[in-house]
């Protein structure tokens, strides 16, 4: 089977090369993302591999069909970059990697949470300009906090396990409750979690129902001085409302690995130029705001697992025409 791998990175080649013979695929690689300009690279391929920066809307689904593509293997866990109805309507099938290393994202979430609590960005900025005082640096301890975790799936549960080692009180909210989570956290209705949490951590997928769940109305319900950490999806937050809440002091700190309009700049080296997004720029300029470029997932273990499952998905498609991780059923 001929497969075009979009968004491939130099440091991942070894993983693909080690497995190419085992899977008996003809792989071609491009660093480029899938766009109307690059879709021609998929011509003659039965399948493509994509990353989350490759968006498939109705137009792209039609272009892929025209190029002769049958299967889309997304390397990610999140699926909001694909219009699954449009993919199915064009007779294509798509699969994802439902999990590859929940610990990768959970550990990064802990890193961001602790960095906010200890004012790490401000301290780094101070040290950079040879300022070694303790001014505006005093931190807070996680063990004294109430942490609210929204979404207790694979990643949320792992974060809760890590949090529990710090001795903090953990509240959780999910549309489905899990018995294993109840051993470490208390499920609470969303309004109670909002009212009681010193730190709010988002680990739920982005859906039509929870788009901009953190908005002007919900921000009012949060505790004064709350910290917010989002390693899930940018669309969960109305960033204009959050910027206002940071400016007004309602929110004391914000760490994010994902941003609603990130596809405009993510994975690009803009060489010191500003991103064309005044809200994003105002956010990342703040000492109390930390941004990492959608790299929570990016560990050696995660990449290896992600590529392995992607190739297994494609092998299943090539042998049976369907796949256990299929999204377009």
Is 262 part of the annotated catalytic residue set?
Answer: yes
Stretch that binds ligand NAI, among 5-13, 99-107, 244-252, 279-287 (CB under 6 A): 99-107
**Closest by CA position to 186, among listed 174, 195, 198:** 174
The least CB distance from residue 72 to ligand NAI, in Å, is 18
Do 205 and 234 contact (CB within 8 A), yes or no? no
Centre a 10 Å sphere on the Cβ of residue 209 and count the other Cβ atoms it contains: 8
The vertex-26 CA angle with 298 and 266, nearest 5°, equals 30
Q: Is 109 in the site for ligand NAI (CB under 6 A)?
A: no
Residue 206: how many other CB atoms lie within 10 Å: 22
Catalytic residue among 75, 126, 203, 233: 233
Q: Is 294 in the site for ligand NAI (CB under 6 A)?
A: yes
Give min distance, CB of 152 to ligand NAI, in A: 5
Residue 37 interacting with ligand NAI (CB under 6 A):
no
The SS3 of residue 151 is: coil
Burial of 207: CB neighbours in 10 Å, binned 0-12, 13-18, 19+: middle
Distance CA 41, CA 67 (A): 9
At residue 225's C-alpha, the angle toward residues 153 and 105, to 5°, is 25
Q: Rounded to an integer, what distance in angstroms lies between the CA atom of residue 240 and that of residue 256?
A: 14
| Candidate list 198, 257, 260, 262; residue touching ligand NAI; CB under 6 A | 257
Query: Which of 107, 174, 304, 326 is the binder for ligand NAI (CB under 6 A)?
Result: 174
Q: Answer yes or no: 294 catalytic.
A: yes
Q: How many residues bind ligand NAI (CB under 6 A)?
A: 31
- 258 binding ligand NAI? (CB under 6 A): yes
| Least Å from the CB of residue 256 to ligand NAI | 9
Minimum distance from residue 251 beta carbon to ligand NAI (Å): 20
Nearer to ligand NAI, 41 or 155 (CB): 155
> Nearer to ligand NAI by C-beta: 193 or 226?
193
Choose the binding region for ligand NAI from 6-14, 22-30, 89-97, 230-238 (rule: CB under 6 A): 230-238
d(CA 234, CA 164) in angstroms, rounded, equals 26
**235 is a contact residue toward ligand NAI (CB under 6 A):** no
For ligand NAI, the binding residue among 195, 205, 215, 244 (CB under 6 A) is 205
Yes or no: say if 2 and 46 are a contact pair by the CB < 8 Å rule.
yes
CB of 127 to ligand NAI, least distance (A): 28
Residue 105 C-beta: closest distance to ligand NAI, Å = 5
Our CB check for ligand NAI shows the closer of 122 and 212 to be: 212
Torsion sign (Cα): 24, 27, 33, 39: negative
DSSP string computed for 67-128: HT--EEEE-SS--TTB-HHHHHHTT-EEE--S-S-HHHHHHHHHHHHHHHHTTHHHHHHHHH
Window contacting ligand NAI (CB under 6 A); options: 61-69, 216-224, 248-256, 294-302:
294-302
Residues designated as active site: 233, 262, 294
Residues that bind ligand NAI (CB under 6 A): 77-78, 99, 102, 105, 150-156, 173-176, 203-207, 209-210, 231-233, 257-258, 294, 296-297
């Amino acid at each position: 089977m001929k497969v075009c791998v979009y968004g491939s990175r130099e440091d991942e080649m070894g993983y693909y090369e080690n497995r190419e013979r085992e899977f008996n695929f003809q792989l071609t690689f491009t660093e480029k993302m899938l766009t109307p300009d690059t879709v021609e690279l998929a011509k003659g391929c039965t399948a493509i591999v994509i990353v989350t920066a490759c968006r498939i809307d109705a137009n792209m689904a039609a272009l892929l069909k025209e190029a002769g593509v049958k299967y889309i293997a997304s390397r990610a866990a999140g699926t909001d970059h694909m219009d699954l109805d449009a993919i199915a309507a064009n007779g294509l099938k798509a699969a994802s990697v439902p999990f590859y290393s929940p610990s990768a994202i959970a550990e990064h979430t802990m890193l961001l949470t602790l960095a906010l609590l200890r004012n790490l960005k401000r301290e780094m900025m101070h040290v950079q300009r040879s300022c070694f005082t303790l001014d505006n640096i005093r931190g807070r301890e996680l063990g004294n906090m109430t942490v609210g975790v929204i979404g207790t799936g694979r990643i949320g549960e792992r974060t809760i396990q890590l949090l529990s080692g710090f001795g903090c009180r953990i509240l959780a909210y999910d549309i489905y409750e899990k018995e294993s989570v109840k051993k470490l956290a208390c499920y609470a209705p969303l309004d109670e979690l909002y009212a009681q949490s010193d730190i709010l951590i988002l680990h739920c997928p982005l859906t039509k129902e929870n788009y901009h769940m953190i908005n002007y109305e919900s921000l009012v319900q949060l505790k004064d001085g709350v910290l917010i950490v989002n390693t899930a999806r940018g669309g969960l937050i109305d960033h204009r409302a959050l910027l206002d809440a940071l400016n007004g002091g309602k929110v004391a700190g914000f760490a994010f690995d994902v941003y609603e309009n990130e596809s405009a700049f993510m994975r690009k080296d803009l060489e010191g130029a500003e991103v064309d997004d005044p809200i994003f720029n105002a956010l990342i300029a703040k000492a109390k705001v930390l941004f990492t470029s959608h790299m929570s997932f990016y560990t050696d273990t995660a990449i290896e697992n992600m590529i392995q499952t992607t190739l297994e998905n494609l092998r299943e498609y090539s042998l049976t025409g369907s796949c256990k991780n299929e999204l377009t059923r």
